[in-house]
Copies of this chain bind each other. A is one copy, B any other.
Amino acid sequence: MDGKNPVIAVIGAGAVGAYYGGRLAQHGHDVHFLLRSDYKHVARNGWMIQSCHGDFKLPPGTMHVYEKAERMPKADWVIVTLKATANEQLGAMISPLIKENTLLLTMQNGLGNEERLAELFGPQRVLGGLAFVCIHRVEPGVIHHIDHGYVRVGEFIESGNANARAISEMFRKSKVQCDVLESLKHGRWAKLVWNIPFSGLGGALEMATDELLCSREGQELVRAIMMEVIAGARGCGVELSQSVIDQRIKETSTMGSYKSSMQIDREQARPMEVEAILGEPVRQAAIAGVAMPIVRELYRLASVVNLAKCHEGR
């Protein structure tokens, strides 16, 4: 990559992929997006990004869009923003893009995504990114970036963070606040302290954050789940302070009525990321000898919700 403009591929360009890849393209990077459902619309019209950090357009000439990975160039960076529920497609989607020094950054939710990429393409080239962002696709080609946008990146195999610093710098020069995590695993578990209760309960019970927090019993349930996540994290070698529980609840209480990604997926009859957000943490904690009894039941219930395909699109 030295001196040359790196080739960046964004795999599964929904709202998150369009935004972060879009910021890179907007700032002169050579970005190639792999899309599915919105391919035709975006190929013709580009993207319109309505962002709290400044609206911008990505006309077709400013980036490249593809329907098939086989047509894409080999990439220096592959940024994965595919829904984790489609992870079985990762091999076929990414293989055509791989050359010797390709680096892979997964910005997907939950646990298990780096492991998946490491199994397929080797662990040394894998990085993980946590996106703290409220964003959604309004219609084909239109993304609404509502709030936040901060990214934290880390390396799957901790080895000096030179690659994490490189992608972090690309983001920072492209209007994306970004820093480097000392420990990716720590960052992933810390994010799960919020995601497991609010996405898990939100999706399984169809409840927004304010509905979960407006009763004493709801707050106690959220706290009990957060305690289990902290215990699970500790089992996996990640120390999180108990004080994050009060912090997360206080922050969330001021957010108004917020629907988690799992709740929105359920409402729109899309599969929820049950394995990445609930199943994999339960399994990793169990291997470390830590039971997460409430989360395990929640995982089971959310799985049954996810599998009720008999009424698709209800």
Contact = CB atoms under 8 A, between A and B. Distances in A.
Contact of A301 (B208, B221, B310): B221
A212 interface: yes
Count of identical protomers in the assembly: 2
Contacts of A217: 300, 303-304, 307
Contacts of A101: none
Given A205-B205, A206-B206, A221 B310 contact: no
A311 B211 contact: yes
Interface string A294-313: 10011011011101111100
B304 A221 contact: yes
B301 A257 contact: no
B257 A308 contact: no
B204 A205 contact: yes
A218 interface: yes
Contacts of A215: 304, 307-309
A210 interface: yes
Interface in A215-235: 215, 217-218, 221
In the A-B complex, list the 4 residue pairs whose CB atoms are closest, starting with the nearest.
A215-B307, A211-B308, A214-B310, A297-B297
Contacts of A208: 311
Interface of A: 201, 204-208, 210-212, 214-215, 217-218, 221, 257, 293-294, 297-298, 300-301, 303-305, 307-311
A300 B205 CA distance: 12
Given A207-B304, A211-B311, 7 more contacts: A204-B205, A205-B206, A205-B304, A208-B311, A211-B310, A212-B308, A293-B297
A305 B218 CA distance: 8
A304 B210 contact: no
A309 B207 CA distance: 11
Contacts of A206: 205-206
A257 B308 CA distance: 12
Contact of A218 (B218, B294, B297, B304): B304
Contacts of A298: 297, 301
B308 A218 contact: yes
A211 B307 CA distance: 8
